[in-house]
Structure 1
Amino acid sequence: MTDPRPLHPTTPTTTTPTVVLLEAPPTGAGEAAVRLIRERGHQPLVLTHPDGRMPAAGAARLREAGAQIHHCRTDDTDAVTAHCRTIDHLAALTTLYEFSVQVAADAAARLHLPGPDPDAVRRCRSKALLRTTLEPHPGLNAAFGRAETTQEALAHAERIGYPVVVKATTLAGSAHITLCATPGDVVRDAGRILSLADYLGFEVPREVLVEEYLAGEEFSVEIFHGRGIGVNAKLLGPPPHFIELGHHYPAQIPAPLAAELLRTAERAVAATGLTWGPAHVELRCRFGRSQPRVVEINPRVAGDRIAELVRLADGVDLFGAQLDALLGRRPDVRPRALGGAAVRFIPSPGHGVITHLTDPAHLAALPGVREVRFQRAVGDRAPRMLSNLERLGHVIATGDDTAQAVERAQQALGHCTVQVTDPTPTKGP
């Protein structure tokens, strides 16, 4: 649904320097970024695609936070560059949105603005190119194969050995990532990916990645300027999908494992050349039984409110550091150990019309709860959970340590009720 109000046809005339954000994630990170830009004395301007991929409610929240909003072909580097050249006092161009990181990096380079190396972003943005980039570096990679047909995907799976992970190469949010235990699974899921023309309005390359399944627990390391800030632990849903149901920071793991995760993540971003600004490195390992190996590298501040967990637990504002780097200031990313923080996502119960959601004010009043947000409302259809996009919302809680934060987030999640009617039977995995 598009915002019915006309967007500004002209650029700001104020002498206040402008920071441009390319699109904004729906989790609330965009509004937080807009507020921080204003606090730093700059004018935030969000560029969004004219096809309506940003819902009206999202645009309204960004305006309420203080942003101007312009329409622009945000998936086109030429269009973004041309639009930014019309903006007086342009100070920076950046994004928090996975699907926009490449265009933002390319356009910033053309405009001679600070930012990450566009080639490094490209190496991370493509999951297939990332695997190729990491291949010469021992201990970082999983066995993999890139395929353009289902038969090629099947051949890679037979070579690697079952189970394998089949994934699209440029998507995000755990979309179209499946654990495949049989040849039939590979043919089915590779075929689905290869048949995609677009996703959320973005073109999907006709290719699929087949990877060795890395058994074990999953973590992420938050990076800035090539150095690890801390380790986040993930809570994943059941196979065959890899939907993220929660995170807690800092991870409750032995110090030697945390150090090894940090070293591995730093090696990985160095291998890609992504040594400017933020990176979110996902890794997997078995406690005491395997070395960490890289799952993915996202060339941006972590999504899923992980960056907010880092801010609450360590006092490090990752977007604030990114903004400082963009504006020529020295980022402060020294952890301060304030406690622990956890986010838990509200799962969808499946197809049906939502008839009741717990009042968010009730959840917000619970001990330690710092943020409550619903992505859907009464009257919306509750979707089947196939990716992170189908989650209904989230709660964030803090505590004196990570264990207390997790307990409080789980308690808040337990107080959240979702009722649906008119269930629709579904088929398939």
Structure 2
Amino acid sequence: MKRRALILLEGHRSIGLLYVKAAQRLGLLPITLSSAPAQYGYLAAERLESVCVDTNNLDALIHECSRLGAIYDIAGITGFTGLDESVYATVSKLCRHFGIPGPNPASIERCCDKFVQREFLAEAGVPIPAYRLATDATEVENSAAQIGLPVIVKPAVGSGSCGVRLCRTVDELIEHTAYLLGGKHLWWSSPRILVEEFAQGSQYSAYTMGKEIIGICAADFGPLPHFVYHNFTFPALLADDKYRRIVDVSLSCQRALGLGWGPAHIEFRWTKRGPIVIEVNPRLPGGTTPRLIQLGYGVDLVTEHIKLVIGEEYDLSRRQSQIAAARFLVPDRDGILDSINGDSAGAVSGVAEVKLYVEPNTTIVRKGDYRDAIGHVIAASASPTETEAILQRAVDLIDWSITPFPTVGE
């Protein structure tokens, strides 16, 4: 009898190992297909099976999966998206080719392009910011004039807030457009820029699996003009009417985009007009989210997703009720990280996890996106006040310092 295997397309620095461990607990052999397996340190550290293959080449992936299928019983295929959103779309095409459970490729592809996504949501009457598509500096400026400053300027394809900035003045608009089009930003396709209204208000994310709402998370960003997450709280403390409105809009997004299989998360801003949809992501979020949901509701979202992928019944029923929160460590300057130590923070009662992403003597150059975080702390308790206090005690115990780069002339 062939051993059952789970194919993972690419890896992920925050949730890749969670998928590997969950697959192993379910009796599956995880096999990672990647264009550069060495970039995922846990593969070598855990002595996991991996194959080097061009994950942008669908034919090469079909060939490799067929080869592996002669050796193993391929129970399912899933994967991760990084800065290039196309990987998860490729996962859906592989599932369709081999006739195994997976999302609709057309639905995934229309979500991966933020402009196309906006068009589908607008046609369905889903509340979204005013938006325009631009391909050069003149079109960016004209779009901003039509919408009215301030505006959000971002790549039409991408993730992790890379290349996303609030432009409050014409000078900021010109500066950021020059950055995006001047060769400094990595484009995965021809440059296309989304210019949209700045929806001001509290940030929330709704998490779904299939057509079920798992829960809603509250989030806080660091200082503008960038959008770097500093805090997550799950579940969000929402009045019943707010919760229902976010749920209703989330389900409207699914219908508009043809989603309804597998995990997704929908990002909102709660404005004077109510919930405004910022983005629909047809995948499980990375970072701390799966851990927060497990601490808050007792639902292991990674395991339940794998069950869905391999055609088994999944269970999203809540097993507990806690307030879980994450605080990210984000530097306030560039320079050399002299030292960092989180041992004492991990000993604080109520702290579930302290993770540092960097080592001493690391060069810190902030980019204004998810890559700025150098670590996080997660805590959980029965009340929001207690959870916040635990987080603050832990963060205060993390000792780290950065020596700024010398200024010109020093």
Match of 1:74 among 44, 49, 55: 55
CA gap of 1:425–1:256, structure 2 versus 1, over 3 A, is farther
CA gap of 1:410–1:123, structure 2 versus 1, over 3 A, is farther
SS state of the match for residue 363, structure 2?
Answer: coil
| Alignment correspondent of 1:410 | 392
The reply on whether 1:47 has 2:33 as its aligned counterpart is yes
Moved more, 66-75 or 144-153: 66-75
The reply on whether 1:296 has 2:279 as its aligned counterpart is yes
| Alignment correspondent of 1:130 | 117
| Alignment correspondent of 1:384 | 366
Match of 2:155 among 152, 157, 168: 168
List gaps (5 residues or longer) in structure 1: 1-13
The answer as to whether partners of 1:348 and 1:385 remain within 8 angstroms in 2 is no
Distance (whole Å) between structure 2 residues aligned to residue 203 and residue 162 of structure 1? 28
CA deviations over 1:217-245 (Å, ceiling 9, x no partner): 00000011022111100010111011111
SS state of the match for residue 330, structure 1?
Answer: coil
SS state of the match for residue 155, structure 1?
Answer: helix
1:381 offset after TM fit, Å? 0.7
Q: Which amino acid aligns with 2:250?
A: A
Moved more, 274-283 or 364-373: 364-373
CA gap of 1:362–1:204, structure 2 versus 1, over 3 A, is farther
CA gap of 1:333–1:422, structure 2 versus 1, over 3 A, is same
| TM-score after normalising by structure 1 | 0.89
Distance (whole Å) between structure 2 residues aligned to residue 323 and residue 162 of structure 1? 44
| Alignment correspondent of 2:90 | 103
CA deviations over 1:169-216 (Å, ceiling 9, x no partner): 2211111110111222222212322344873xx724311000011010
CA gap of 1:62–1:364, structure 2 versus 1, over 3 A, is farther
The reply on whether 1:85 has 2:72 as its aligned counterpart is no
CA deviations over 1:146-179 (Å, ceiling 9, x no partner): 1111111111111111111000122111111101
1:30 offset after TM fit, Å? 0.9
SS state of the match for residue 67, structure 2?
Answer: coil
CA deviations over 1:59-90 (Å, ceiling 9, x no partner): 2x234446312211122222222211111321
The answer as to whether partners of 1:30 and 1:62 remain within 8 angstroms in 2 is no
| Alignment correspondent of 1:151 | 138
1:425 offset after TM fit, Å? 4.7
CA deviations over 1:10-65 (Å, ceiling 9, x no partner): xxxx92211011122212x1111100000000001112213x7x53xx32x23444
Distance (whole Å) between structure 2 residues aligned to residue 223 and residue 205 of structure 1? 31
| Alignment correspondent of 1:10 | none
| Alignment correspondent of 2:18 | 32
The answer as to whether partners of 2:153 and 2:195 remain within 8 angstroms in 1 is yes
Moved more, 126-135 or 393-402: 393-402
Q: Which amino acid aligns with 1:413?
A: V
Q: Which amino acid aligns with 1:326?
A: V
Moved more, 158-167 or 90-99: 90-99
The answer as to whether partners of 1:22 and 1:104 remain within 8 angstroms in 2 is yes
Distance (whole Å) between structure 2 residues aligned to residue 73 and residue 228 of structure 1? 35
The answer as to whether partners of 1:353 and 1:421 remain within 8 angstroms in 2 is yes
List gaps (5 residues or longer) in structure 2: none
Distance (whole Å) between structure 2 residues aligned to residue 312 and residue 65 of structure 1? 25
CA deviations over 1:284-333 (Å, ceiling 9, x no partner): 013xx321011011111122211210111111222222111111111111
Distance (whole Å) between structure 1 residues aligned to residue 89 and residue 178 of structure 2? 26
Q: Which amino acid aligns with 1:154?
A: E
Match of 1:344 among 327, 333, 347: 327
Q: Which amino acid aligns with 1:177?
A: V
Distance (whole Å) between structure 2 residues aligned to residue 294 and residue 65 of structure 1? 39
CA gap of 1:153–1:323, structure 2 versus 1, over 3 A, is same
| Alignment correspondent of 1:11 | none
The answer as to whether partners of 1:140 and 1:268 remain within 8 angstroms in 2 is no
| Alignment correspondent of 1:206 | 191
Distance (whole Å) between structure 2 residues aligned to residue 408 and residue 259 of structure 1? 30
SS state of the match for residue 123, structure 2?
Answer: coil
The answer as to whether partners of 1:279 and 1:297 remain within 8 angstroms in 2 is yes
Moved more, 87-96 or 236-245: 87-96
Moved more, 385-394 or 96-105: 96-105
| Alignment correspondent of 1:4 | none
SS state of the match for residue 292, structure 1?
Answer: strand
| Alignment correspondent of 2:289 | 306
CA gap of 1:196–1:320, structure 2 versus 1, over 3 A, is farther
| Alignment correspondent of 2:258 | 273
The answer as to whether partners of 2:18 and 2:302 remain within 8 angstroms in 1 is no
| Alignment correspondent of 2:207 | 222
State the number of aligned residues.
402
The answer as to whether partners of 1:230 and 1:250 remain within 8 angstroms in 2 is yes
Match of 2:3 among 16, 37, 41: 16
SS state of the match for residue 162, structure 2?
Answer: coil
CA deviations over 1:95-148 (Å, ceiling 9, x no partner): 133432122122222222211111111111111111111111224221100111
Match of 2:232 among 232, 247, 270: 247
Distance (whole Å) between structure 1 residues aligned to residue 104 and residue 133 of structure 2? 25
